[in-house]
Amino acid sequence: MSQIEFTARGDGGPPVRTDLPPRWVEFTACGPTAKISRKAGLDVMLVYAGGIAVRIFVKVWARMQARPDIDPSPGPLLLAGAVVAAGLVALLFRRMSRRGDHWAVFLGGVVAFVSFFRFDSTPLAAGTPLEKPLVLVPLVPAGLAIWSFLRMVRNTDELQRRILYQALSVGFVVTLVATLAYSVLENLGVPRISAAWWWSVLVLSWVAGLAIFSRRYE
């Protein structure tokens, strides 16, 4: 059945084509109003750039601390640069949050977390007094991502909630079986994989579930 319809405009203009079949990606926007707009995309990219800037400022500062042969006078300037960059990132988050764009806040949180945190790497500014506080910094965007994700879930309507529930069930059971099956294979000599990567199984199977179940209601 064709889902394409023509809606007449009151002003007598040409009929506007509306109601193309919804795509499953629309669901990932998780709400009737929130969409991944160009604005949101730009903000998320700026958040990533800001996170990288903070990281670079702190890294250069930490290297200077470790080498006494370098003049340490630009040190405070570098730290101030890091603080300014972090402040700009915070402003970006505020802007996205004021727009009510929880999807953008979520992506921004993930991106800021990733830009600052790396798997299996030595801590940023190791050996300096800032080492331990800096470990806590990525928790802020991570917390923002969790908060905005829960907001998105709360804003979904009944059908979206059903799709989300079905997709999460798929993700849960696939991850459960995959982890158990792989542990059996490990006993048979298959190389061990770090547990830090198992989340990708969960996310991928969840996204696959979203794709499958959203299509069911198209």
Cα–Cα distance for residue pair 184/175, rounded to 1 Å: 14
Give the other-Cβ count within 10 Å of 128's Cβ.
Answer: 17
Q: Where are the beta strands (DSSP E) in 58-161?
A: none
Shortest distance in whole angstroms from residue 32 CB to another protein: 5
Tell me if 154 contacts another protein by CB under 8 A: no
Shortest distance in whole angstroms from residue 211 CB to another protein: 13
Cα–Cα distance for residue pair 207/28, rounded to 1 Å: 9
The residue length of the chain stands at 218
Q: Which of residues 26-45 bind another protein (CB under 8 A)?
A: 26-27, 31-32
Which residue from 3, 169, 179, 200 is in contact with another protein, where contact means CB under 8 A? Answer: 3
Tell me if 1 contacts another protein by CB under 8 A: yes
CA dihedral 21, 27, 31, 36 (to 10 degrees): -90
Around 46, how many Cα atoms within 13 Å sit in the side-chain half-sphere?
19
Residue closer to another protein (CB basis): 150 or 159: 159
Which residue from 8, 42, 80, 180 is in contact with another protein, where contact means CB under 8 A? Answer: 8
Shortest distance in whole angstroms from residue 18 CB to another protein: 4
Q: At 185, give phi and psi (nearest 5°).
A: -65, -35
Tell me if 217 contacts another protein by CB under 8 A: yes
| Residues that bind another protein in the complex, under the rule CB under 8 A | 1, 3, 5, 7-8, 10, 18-19, 21-22, 26-27, 31-32, 156-160, 162, 214, 216-218
